Structure 1
Amino acid sequence: MQTASTNICERMDHSQELSEFKHGTVIGCHLCNKSICEISLLLNIPRSTVSGIITKCKQLGHSNSATKW
């Protein structure tokens, strides 16, 4: 049985923001040709979040995207 504290750590709350490190990791995985689903499973974040980060990255350009978060 999981306690509330481990459950919170394992799942991303809708209001919780990702760290700069996780944003960079998503972008790095994308640049290494990982699929949205693979990135989502690897980092335990929703596919919609991964997709949004990748979309924003494409709009801003890869070199500028990490500094815009």
Structure 2
Amino acid sequence: MAQRKDNIAFVKALMTHSKYGALAQLFVIDALSKWSDKISSVEPRAVDSPMISGEAWVGVAKEIKDKIDARVS
């Protein structure tokens, strides 16, 4: 059985091995932008789960959103 890639290797493969070339990179960045925008505006309690604190989840969404916003501005 093939060993699973760690998350960094998996995301790198998504962004570098596509029959659509660099369009895959735009898709991944757009998806991150839209999801981080959505999650950063919710009440942390709404996204609490047994595995991840809602506060941490919203916090990381805000961090990623800020980094993407800074890159495109």
Short-chain TM bin: 0.3 to 0.5
Structure showing greater radius of gyration is: 2
TM-score after normalising by structure 2 = 0.33
Bigger proportion of residues as helix: 2
TM-score after normalising by structure 1 = 0.34
Higher relative contact order (CA 8 A, sep 6+): 1
